[in-house]
A = this chain, B = another copy of it.
Amino acid sequence: MPSTSNPIALGIVGVGKIVRDQHLPALAGNDNYRLIAVASRHGKVDGIANFPSIEAMLEAVPTLEAVSLCMPPQARYTAARAALDAGKHVFLEKPPGATVSEVEDLRRLAVTKGVSLFASWHSRYAPAVEAARSFLASTQIHAASIVWKEDVRRWHPNQDWIWQAGGLGVFDPGINALSIATHIFPAMFITGATLEFPENRAAPIAAAIDFRTAQDLAVSADFDWRQTGPQSWDIFAETDRGQMALSGGGAKLVVDGHVVHQENEAEYPALYRRFAEIVRSGTSDVDLAPLQHVADAFMLGKRRTVEAFID
């Protein structure tokens, strides 16, 4: 286990929307990190060293101790291998890879190298998620549903990779819902799914999924990228203690009409606190359940072809 300095010398790979919107502001407010380099084909960050590739960055900045990998999932494994081989701690944006098996390989490699690997799921760190988990653990759940409907044109404008094979389509936001559901509900598995593919795209624009648990709880999920107007990121449960609604992507918990927990979203600051924690304690945090469900949905699901999607 290499010792890590304080603050941790960090690099970021893949400077796009999520890095500018979330990673840079979260790091600006966290004394645990010193961002010293970025690598990106297109994006630049002022005031620090910029490189065209992770390989160039790793070679030029040997003092790097950790890297955050924020490129599309199809390219994440190769970068993660390079970073782990160089003995760096690795923070993986979600989804952690293009396949479950490749992330299992990274997990083995991190153990071999004695460094920390973090498969981050930002929605799991939404402010009311822990309150929802505690509430559900205190009662009997009779039925549950996930409604995750948003406007892809608003949230992923012209992001071509997301529509390509391996880009996951509507499962890119849907996996956020699954990262919460797999944290607050007992272990689930898919019993049926229907995936809707636009006739001109290689990834689904909508999905309806049925889960059950070993306790025979039925959980339905409805993912749709064609939602204009109000956006829905909600998880509902009927319980012995009343109806639970975890809304706003995990920001607000309401039970039987009463607000139990509401707080401003601060997911990425929490993610970076967690990453520092596992680096300091020499552990890893790699839960593949959300990605496993997506792979299972693709394997088991029926496919329907729907109207072409033009960005």
Contact residue among B101, B190, B191, B202 (Cβ-Cβ distance under 8 Å from A190): B101
A100 touches B187 (CB 8 A): no
Q: How far is the CA of A299 from the CA of B207 in the complex (A)?
A: 13
A101 touches B296 (CB 8 A): yes
Count, chain A residues at interface, CB 8 A: 35
B189 touches A296 (CB 8 A): no
Q: Mark A268-310, 1 if CB is under 8 A from B, else 0.
A: 0000000000000000000001001111101111110000000
The answer to whether the Cβ of A108 comes within 8 Å of any Cβ in the partner chain is yes
Secondary structure of the A contact surface, majority rule: helix
Q: Mark A71-84, 1 if CB is under 8 A from B, else 0.
A: 00010010001000
Nearest CB in chain B: distance from A5 CB, A: 29
Q: Quick one: closest B residue to A193, CB to CB?
A: B165
Q: Given the interface contacts A108-B214, A214-B108, does A189 sit within 8 Å of B295 by beta carbon?
A: no
Identical copies of this chain, number: 2
B101 touches A189 (CB 8 A): yes
Q: Given the interface contacts A109-B214, A189-B105, does A99 sit within 8 Å of B302 by beta carbon?
A: no
Q: Given the interface contacts A109-B214, A214-B108, A296-B295, does A101 sit within 8 Å of B303 by beta carbon?
A: no
Contact residue among B99, B109, B293 (Cβ-Cβ distance under 8 Å from A300): B99
Within 8 A of B (CB), among A93-141: 98-102, 104-105, 108-109
Nearest CB in chain B: distance from A30 CB, A: 32
The answer to whether the Cβ of A255 comes within 8 Å of any Cβ in the partner chain is no
Residues of the B chain whose Cβ atoms lie less than 8 Å from the Cβ of A292: 100-101, 295
The answer to whether the Cβ of A188 comes within 8 Å of any Cβ in the partner chain is yes
Give A residues with C-beta under 8 Å from B: 74, 77, 81, 98-102, 104-105, 108-109, 165-166, 168, 187-191, 197, 202, 214, 289, 292-296, 298-303
16 intermolecular pairs with C-beta atoms under 8 Å apart: A81-B214, A98-B300, A99-B189, A99-B299, A100-B295, A101-B188, A101-B189, A104-B187, A105-B187, A108-B187, A109-B214, A165-B300, A165-B301, A292-B295, A295-B299, A298-B299
